[in-house]
Amino acid sequence: MLKIGDTAPEFEGTDQDGHRVKLEELLGKSAVVLYFYPKDFTPVCTAQACLFRDSSAELTSLGVQVVGVSGDDQSSHSRFAETHRVPYPLLSDPDKAIQKAYEARQLLGFLSKRVTYVIGRDRKIRGAFHNELSAQKHVDAVKKVLASMKG
């Protein structure tokens, strides 16, 4: 896992709507919450996506954009986003390049770890969280970091 103070690696991916998303472009507008999750439509992953969805207005008001990443393909992300009304980009990472760059791969590299990063507009990691079983802890930790960045 990357550490607080590390420089966030550049990434580029395709979201559920077929749009290309680049870290550099996101940071031109706001800080970024980048979260990695193992698989669409699984219980904890669905809870995590929905918790970020339900917090999206608050997170936007704190000056941040949320982006999710998993190895699922664009079609799966599209169904997942539509089913759960996910308002932010879900990037497909089939070759696991983003997961590798952010040290978010599980043992043997099969699935993504449940890792969340808060990336400041200066491209520095401001928060780094890993918890496989509690999606709520990720959202709570993000809010705490964002509050400290504002204050």
Active site residue ranges: 45
- CB atoms under 10 Å from CB of 3, counted, come to 8
Question: 3-class DSSP state for residue 23?
Answer: helix
| φ, ψ for residue 103, nearest 5 deg | 50, 45
DSSP 96-138: -HHHHHTT-BPGGGSSB--EEEEE-TTSBEEEEEE-SS-HHHH
Whole-number Cα distances in Å, 36 to 40, 121, 148, 150, 151: 11, 19, 23, 24, 27
Q: Which helix (H) or strand (E) holds 25?
A: helix 23-27
> What φ, ψ does residue 120 adopt, rounded to 5°?
-70, 165
